[in-house]
């Protein structure tokens, strides 16, 4: 078997075109453009690149981006004060704080200070809670994008066994909730899972989001499975996923590449969430 490639780049481009078209129609009627505030702290190169990509994507579709480049020694209070100000601003619909944050700043305090209605990353406990209750509002971008990708396949999710490897608040846990909401039977694995191979062998849908390229072995993949690779590992300057694409593609029915799979969808869903927040505002 050679798997079909799930093309996230193409679907993301289509979504951006749809978003651009909707915004353009409203702008012609004199409505103000959606606004997204992006806060970047310090000089982490990967974070700078992510923020640049988000800014360019905003420009492409007509979202006004306000990028705040803050010094790494900003205090937590100064950052929270800025978020309070942005929460009040009528020209800003979405607020995103690029993670990770410097160690002197409490990530949870930052996430919880963002107005849940402007939380376009979908990380606020209110938005995660709504997802847990299957009443989603702003949904975490990466799992939401993966659900859109799965929706393009000729596949019924209901009743499928889904295994998510990685249980972070921003990817693994909301991914498990999304799949549960789609009526999959979900197993969520993490670093203390006792027999990862045994779990993965049962997966009709495998989502790898652990951030390590050599843990999951291609021969564990159930023949005919859908494999979604969230991992982004930079090895000798080359971006690699958590799954060995070539060998995994010999067993899977569908598989996402890295790059060009989940990554572009994450950015597209950020735009989609900003659009939703703007429509409500
Ligand atoms: P994270 O916060 O470091 O979480 C990693 C998760 O994987 C944790 O739950 C951890 O378990 C688990 N894990 C680590 N080693 C494991 C092992 N050997 N076996 C089983 N589980 C293991 O990472 P994250 O933020 O969720 O990101 C995960 C990966 O996705 C990273 O490569 C990141 O760069 C990538 N990512 C990609 C996108 C995209 O748009 N493509 C978006 C976000 C993240 P514990 O909970 O027990 O520690």
Average pLDDT over residues 11-37: 98
Average pLDDT over residues 214-226: 98
Measured over all CA atoms, what is the biggest interatomic distance in the chain, rounded to whole angstroms? Answer: 58
Whether 46 and 30 have beta carbons less than 8 Å apart is answered as: no
Tens-place pLDDT, residues 146-177: 999 999 999 999 999 999 999 999 999 999 99
Average pLDDT over residues 123-151: 98
pTM for the model stands at 0.98
Residue 147: the pLDDT is 98
| Active-site amino acid positions | 54, 98, 121
Residue keyed to tokens 């990708």: 149
Ligand 1 nearest-atom number relative to CA 210: 7
Residue 54: the pLDDT is 97
Residue 39: the pLDDT is 98
Is 47 a pocket residue for ligand 1 (Cβ < 6 Å)? no
Is 146 a pocket residue for ligand 1 (Cβ < 6 Å)? no
Shortest-distance Cα residue to atom 40 of ligand 1: 263
Ligand 1: centre distance to CA 141 (Å): 15
List, as one string, the DSSP characters of 171-198: THHHHHHHHHHTT-EEEEE-TT-S-HHH
The yes-or-no verdict on residue 38 having pLDDT over 90 is: yes
- The residues near 81 (Cβ < 8 Å, ≥ 6 apart) are none
Ligand 1 nearest-atom number relative to CA 231: 32
| Burial category of 87 from C-beta neighbours within 10 Å (exposed 0-12, middle 13-18, buried 19 and up) | middle
Is 53 a pocket residue for ligand 1 (Cβ < 6 Å)? no
Is 149 a pocket residue for ligand 1 (Cβ < 6 Å)? no
Tens-place pLDDT, residues 43-79: 999 999 999 999 999 999 999 999 999 999 999 999 9
Residue 219: DSSP 8-state: G
- CA 82 vs CA 43, 51, 78, 125: distances in Å: 19, 18, 6, 20
How far, in Å, CA of 12 to CA of 272, rounded?
10
Q: Which domains does the chain have, with CATH numbers?
A: 30-115 (3.40.50.10860), 139-263 (3.40.50.720)
Average pLDDT over residues 191-203: 98
Tens-place pLDDT, residues 241-262: 999 999 999 999 999 999 999 9
Ligand 1: centre distance to CA 170 (Å): 9
Residue 43: the pLDDT is 93
How far, in Å, CA of 143 to CA of 262, rounded?
9
Q: In the structure, what pLDDT confidence band is assigned to residue 115 with cuts at 50, 70 and 90? A: very high
The yes-or-no verdict on residue 179 having pLDDT over 80 is: yes
Q: In the structure, what pLDDT confidence band is assigned to residue 280 with cuts at 50, 70 and 90? A: confident
How far, in Å, CA of 234 to CA of 230, rounded?
13
Tens-place pLDDT, residues 70-80: 999 999 999 99
Q: In the structure, what pLDDT confidence band is assigned to residue 1 with cuts at 50, 70 and 90? A: confident
Please provide the distance, in angstroms rounded to a whole number, between the alpha carbons at the two ends of the chain: 49
In which element (H, E) is residue 209 found? none
């Amino acid at each position: 078997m050679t798997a079909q490639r799930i093309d996230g780049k193409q679907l993301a481009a289509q979504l951006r075109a749809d978003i651009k078209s909707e915004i353009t129609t409203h702008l012609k009627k004199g409505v103000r453009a959606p606004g997204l505030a992006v806060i970047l702290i310090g000089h982490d190169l990967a974070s700078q690149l992510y923020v640049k990509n988000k800014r360019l994507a905003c420009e492409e579709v007509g979202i006004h981006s306000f990028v705040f480049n803050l010094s790494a020694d900003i205090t937590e209070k100064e950052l929270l004060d800025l978020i309070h100000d942005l929460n009040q601003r009528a020209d800003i619909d979405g607020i995103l704080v690029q993670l990770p944050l410097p160690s002197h700043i409490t990530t949870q305090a930052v996430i919880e200070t963002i107005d849940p209605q402007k939380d376009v990353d979908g990380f606020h406990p209110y938005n995660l809670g709504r997802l847990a209750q299957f009443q989603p509002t702003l949904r975490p971008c990466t799992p939401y994008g993966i659900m859109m990708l799965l929706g393009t396949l000729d596949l019924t999710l209901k009743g499928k066994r889904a295994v998510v490897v990685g249980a972070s608040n921003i990817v693994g846990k909301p991914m498990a909730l999304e799949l549960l909401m789609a009526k999959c039977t979900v197993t969520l694995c993490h670093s203390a899972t006792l027999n990862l191979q045994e779990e993965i062998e049962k997966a009709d849908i495998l989502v790898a989001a652990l951030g390590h390229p050599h843990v999951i072995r291609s021969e564990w993949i159930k023949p005919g499975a859908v494999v979604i690779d969230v991992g982004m590992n930079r090895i000798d300057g080359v971006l690699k996923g958590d799954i060995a694409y070539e060998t995994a593609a010999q067993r899977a029915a569908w598989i996402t590449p890295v790059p060009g799979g989940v990554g572009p969808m994450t950015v597209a869903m950020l735009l989609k969430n900003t659009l939703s927040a703007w429509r409500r505002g």
